[in-house]
């Protein structure tokens, strides 16, 4: 990671156990093909968080090969998941991943530009609130310079008490220290990520916890604005 001792990371990862053999093999497949997916310690944290909150409707922004969407669906047998991705190379594999597993029937895979799709979903909810209930858990793991836009629309699709979790907020340490190798190439993403983190922490109607786990997580609770 660059900002965490490899010994610490290896020690924590040594306690990781996949949810089941199929997901374990699927993780290995993603890792062997250098496909982005949630880190092991991030998955362990999310597993506990989902166990505690038991969300029924999950929105994920950033599907990749579909590992995390399948993890959510298998962890929560009663939940439905909407996941969004636009990468033309990822979409066929994710489609196949969902079709090959029974949990795929509970995954609504939407392809295209996430901001456009989220805007459409907001309009659908406004037009028919009863037919489009709010999401109670949102996971953001897509274009880092778009986190603010994703959050603003996800907030409209969620309700009071919902959780929004943003992954990779530390961006290999670049968010904290721009002297890390590779930071200069990603300075635009770094700038927008820092702005996003400052924004959510300035909001008085949010409860925010920033964690260094994995590549950094922001766990955000939407509080009731009427209180």
Residues 143-170 have a mean pLDDT of: 96
Domains of the chain from N-terminus onward = 6-222 (3.40.50.150)
pTM for the full predicted model: 0.92
In the chain, % of residues over pLDDT 70 = 94
> Which residues lie closer than 8 Å to 222 by C-beta, 6 or more apart?
155, 158, 159, 160, 161, 162, 163, 164, 205, 206
Distance, CA of 84 to CA of 91 (rounded, Å): 10
CA 87, 92, 93, 99 torsion: positive or negative? positive
Distance, CA of 123 to CA of 219 (rounded, Å): 26
Residues 179-207 have a mean pLDDT of: 86
How confident is residue 6, by pLDDT bands cut at 50, 70 and 90? confident
Would you say residue 109 has pLDDT above 60? yes
17 exposed, middle or buried (CB, 10 Å; 0-12, 13-18, 19+)? exposed
Grouping H, G, I as helix, E, B as strand and the rest as coil, residue 72 is helix
* Mean confidence (pLDDT) of the chain: 93
CA 191, 193, 199, 202 torsion: positive or negative? negative
**∠124-59-227 over CA atoms, to 5°?**
80
Q: Which of 28, 89, 103, 92 is nearest to 58 (CA)?
A: 103
Grouping H, G, I as helix, E, B as strand and the rest as coil, residue 110 is strand
Grouping H, G, I as helix, E, B as strand and the rest as coil, residue 122 is helix
Would you say residue 2 has pLDDT above 50? no
How confident is residue 227, by pLDDT bands cut at 50, 70 and 90? very low
Name the token pair of 151: 């959050």
């Amino acid at each position: 990671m660059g900002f965490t001792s490899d010994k610490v990371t290896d020690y924590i990862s040594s306690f990781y156990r996949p949810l089941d053999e199929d997901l374990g093999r699927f993780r290995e497949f993603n890792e062997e093909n250098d496909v982005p997916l949630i880190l092991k310690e991030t998955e362990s944290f999310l597993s506990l968080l989902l166990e505690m909150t038991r969300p029924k409707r999950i929105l994920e922004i950033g599907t990749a090969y579909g590992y995390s969407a399948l993890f959510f669906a298998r962890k929560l047998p009663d939940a439905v998941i909407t996941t969004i991705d636009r990468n033309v190379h990822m979409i066929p594999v994710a489609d196949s991943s969902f079709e090959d597993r029974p949990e795929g029937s509970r995954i609504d895979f939407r392809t295209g530009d996430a901001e456009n799709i989220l805007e459409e979903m907001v309009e659908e909810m406004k037009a028919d609130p009863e037919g489009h209930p709010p999401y109670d858990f949102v996971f953001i793991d897509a274009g880092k310079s778009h986190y603010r836009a994703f959050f603003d629309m996800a907030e409209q699709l969620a309700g009071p008490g919902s959780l929004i979790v943003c992954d990779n907020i530390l961006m290999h340490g670049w968010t904290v220290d721009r002297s890390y190798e590779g930071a200069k190439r990603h300075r635009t993403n770094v700038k927008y990520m820092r702005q996003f983190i400052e924004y959510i922490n300035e909001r008085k109607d949010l409860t925010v916890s920033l964690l260094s786990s994995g590549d950094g997580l922001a766990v955000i609770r939407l509080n009731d604005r009427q209180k």
